[in-house]
Amino acid sequence: MCGIAGIIGENATEAELQIMLKKQAHRGPDHTGSYFDKGFAAIGHNRLSIIDLSAAANEPFQDNSGRYYLTFNGEIYNYKELKEELKDFYDFRTASDTEVLLASFLKWGKECLHKFRGMFAFGIWDSEKKELFAARDRFGVKPFYYTREEKSFYFSSEIKALQHLRGRDQPNEKVWANYFSYGSYGMPDETFFQQINQLPGGHLLHFSAGELQIEKWYDFEAEVGRIPADYSFEEAKEVYFDLLKESISLRFRADVPVGFNISGGVDSSLLLALVNQFEDKKNINAYTFYTGDERYDELPWVEQMIANTGNPLTKVKFSAEEAKSKASVLSKSQDEPFGGIPTLAYSKIFEQAQKDGIKVLLDGQGMDEQWAGYDYYFQQQSIEQNIQGVGNNSPFRRNALSPSFAAQAEKPEYPQPFDNPLKNMQYRDLFYTKIPRALRFNDRISMAYGVELREPFLDHKLVEFAFAMPADFKINNGIGKYMLRELLKPLVPAEISYAPKRRLQTPQREWLANELSGFTEEQLHNLKNSPVANWFDFEEIEKEWERYKEGDNESSFHIWQWVNASLVVSH
């Protein structure tokens, strides 16, 4: 896990590259490196050392010929297997996955991407042809932002590294309007800022002689289509379980201490159970957060699980008072709107892990999308629904937007490449809504504290297989994630394997109206005096806020949106 940055074009200067690297220095506290090809390119890297901690693996990494320079963020988990495959082709001088990535590119060109099991965003500069090749992993676990200025191309791991350029700090009003009107965080190539784009997950790009070409390299639909449709339930369960164990085993490859995050849900309970299938992993540390509010805390379920496995457990308490300072800190690290109080509480886990010297954490992101765990999947709600736990009530308050700003909103339309609504909803959540936003939140949180976050349940082999399974393997008698629960049943107490999905892990609704009411009102005041005040009808906001305090709080999403906007635009 690291930060990447680069400037391609005749205006590339090392001084400007250093500005970019400094902006995202938190991503790589162990080393900062740069390569300068005068008149053509400046390539930089912030390193967080995870595999091969030696200086020989620092980046930008140069191949043996001296022609290619790599800046890489992420992990190639199957690097040992690939290294064995490449040993007669390339003379390796490090034990890093970085060198394996570069050697793979030299051997197979862009086809190397299909061989990788991992999370990655990288750029490779060809100093002979004067061209850049870059790519992002299948689901976009690792970020890749870019912008154009005249004939130059700039790329980085975080938006803030590009905002010193003229106009790059100006909001993209259409994306913001869609956020307030439909809960959209933008399409896969968009950001909340003008002229700054992101390379979508599963895409690659070439930049040469001032020309940019972007190409989709991962065909999810085709991969799903190759999976046989005639598995029995028991056969599918066995295949998936083997894939799960393999995925977790691969993600324990590190030369630094590894821990994992756990909640009381099915997903992280399964992660805990499988972690302890590996004999040498039984003493790794588990982390969880709680707030002291028994209506929301999952601590009783977590402690019940831990009692079975004996793993050391670090319990991190998060208070309403802490939310104020955390909100300010995270708004700076996120650059864009982010999840509410649960995201703030989650960040405290990474802060504690950093203090404990843990540099890698695993978590359970991705199971709800592949095994249909959200309520709207099985309550026959509209394909437009994408927010868990609000039923048919709208979480948005379009009445609080000014007419001219609201007119810029355009209802997002997502592809529906499959022949049934359930798979199309899952596809939308994997590539357009749930997973992209969660991965962005989590990347910035973990990197703010110099900790690498790994997502074993987002291994592409797992996702493809689960997605391809019949609907009754996913939802059975109104219960989502059915096969997953059946897998978990012999490993944990029954009340955990069939526990319902809980809506929230924090009292966000109550805190915003009570303990954090002063903070909320302060942010609404700041919004009214901000450069984007003309987006809103503050009389309507005031009415909504009064209604909310009086108990109309089935959804707190609209309140958090306004607070969030105030925090983001103030930076």
Asked if the bond preceding 60 is cis, omega within 30° of 0, the reply is: yes
* Cα distance between residue 541 and residue 556, in whole Å: 13
Buried b (16+ CB within 10 A) or exposed e, 357-382: ebbbbbbbbbbbbbbbbbbbbbeebe
Element (H, E) at 471: helix 471-474
Query: What's the farthest any 2 CA atoms get from each other in the chain?
Result: 71
Can you give the three-state secondary structure of 552-564, one letter per residue? CCCCCHHHHHHHH
Q: What sign results for the dihedral spanned by CA atoms 394, 399, 401, 403? A: positive
Is 368 flagged in the annotation as binding?
no
Q: Which residue has the tokens 């806020």?
A: 545
Residue 11, Cα to own-chain centre: how many angstroms?
32
Alpha-carbon gap, residue 344 to 321, rounded angstroms: 12
* Selected catalytic residue, list 1, 2, 349, 430: 2
Give dist(CA 563, CA 41) in Å, integer: 40
Place of tokens 């699980």: 305
> Among 86, 26, 89, 96, which residue's Cα sits nearest to residue 59?
96
Which of 545, 310, 345 has its CA nearest to residue 445? 345
Known active-site residue 112? no
CA–CA separation, 544 and 494 (whole Å): 42
Q: Which two tokens stand for residue 268?
A: 């992280």
Q: What b-and-e string marks burial along 323-349, b requiring 16 or more CB atoms within 10 Å of the CB?
A: bbebbeebbebbbbbbbbbbbbbbbbb
Six-digit token string for 532: 């984007």
SS3 sequence of 139-181 = CCCCCCEEEEECCEEEEECCHHHHCCCCCCCCECHHHHHHHHH
Report how far Cα 372 is from the mean position of its chain's Cα atoms. 19
Element (H or E) spanning 484, and its range?
Answer: helix 482-488
Contact call for residues 571 and 160 (beta carbons, < 8 A): no
Q: Which of 79, 118, 124, 115 is nearest to 97 (CA)?
A: 79
Q: What are phi and psi of 119, to 5 degrees?
A: -125, 130
- The Cα 361–Cα 359 span in angstroms is 7
Contact 405, 177 (CB under 8 A): yes
> Using H for helix, E for strand and C for coil, what is the string for 22-51?
HHCHHHCECEEEEEEECCCEEEEEEECCCC
Q: Two tokens at 345?
A: 């509480």
Beta-bridge mates of residue 31: 47
Binding region for L-glutamine: 97
Binding residues: 97
Q: Which residues are catalytic?
A: 2
